[in-house]
Amino acid sequence: MPRPGPGVAGSRHQPGLSGGRCRQAPPAAGEGLRICFAAYRYDAGGRSKGYPEFIAAASELARRHGNLRFAVAGNFSASDWPIPDHLAPRLSFVGPLPTQELRQFFLGQDVIVAPTMRFALTGTEFDGFPTGSCVEASLCGVAIICSDELRQNRHYEDGEEIMICEPEAASVIGFLDDLARHPDRALRLGRRGQLRTIKLYGTAAQLLPRTRLLRNLADNVGIRF
């Protein structure tokens, strides 16, 4: 079963369903992509969420590109996994954020990385696809790079609206390196993904069908509202 509990970097609120939100300005000329990781840590080191793989990928990307910036949202700190010295000055930890603050954080990011691993804790648990943090980030126009070991994807076009990686640092590095060299691709990926996410998680897709179902059930038992 998907793991219960906070799905958006520690917030207990669900992702916004009203539609997409306007991005802050993309990186200026000469500035690199803003790459983030957002999750709630359930195990030492955040292995189930792919945190070690994110750090390994960020470390390699920091060596290759001098203008990239990295950020972590959620109940992670620099003590959860070793941070290489060359990466530390370019990696920030913002902590768990309430929904509104998390949205503001995502509006200033370009790419979110979520290399989650199936069955990493008990052999039975797994994350949904995309994760709650990825959904919230996508509604803010952030490009998604995430894993999908259980092949849950039915709606996003891989490579156009989302990038599906293996939960391995090498796979993440390959995707990020390409986007770092071609930041316009990250912008297009984020915009296309945002449109798809709005269709999947907007009010029309999520709330209206539930409202109709509840009204039908109420009518069947003679309740009028």
The pLDDT, as a whole number, for residue 1 is 34
The pLDDT, as a whole number, for residue 208 is 81
The pLDDT, as a whole number, for residue 213 is 85
The pLDDT, as a whole number, for residue 18 is 44
The pLDDT, as a whole number, for residue 221 is 85
For 142, the enclosing helix (H) or strand (E) is none
Helix axis angle, 169-181 relative to 51-64, nearest 10°?
Answer: 40
Distance CA 10, CA 102 (A): 10
The pLDDT, as a whole number, for residue 218 is 80
| Phi and psi at residue 34, to the nearest 5° | -105, 115
Is residue 125 helix, strand or coil? coil
- Give tens-digit pLDDT for 50-75: 999 999 999 999 999 999 999 999 99
Percent of the chain with pLDDT over 90: 69
Q: What burial letters (b/e) apply to 185-221, b meaning 16+ CB within 10 Å?
A: ebbebbebbbebbbeebbeeeeeeeeeeeeeeeeeee
SS (H, E, C) 14-38: CCCCCCCCCCCCCCCCCCCCEEEEE
- Extract the residue ranges of the chain whose pLDDT is less than 70: 1-26, 29, 119-126, 225
The pLDDT, as a whole number, for residue 219 is 79
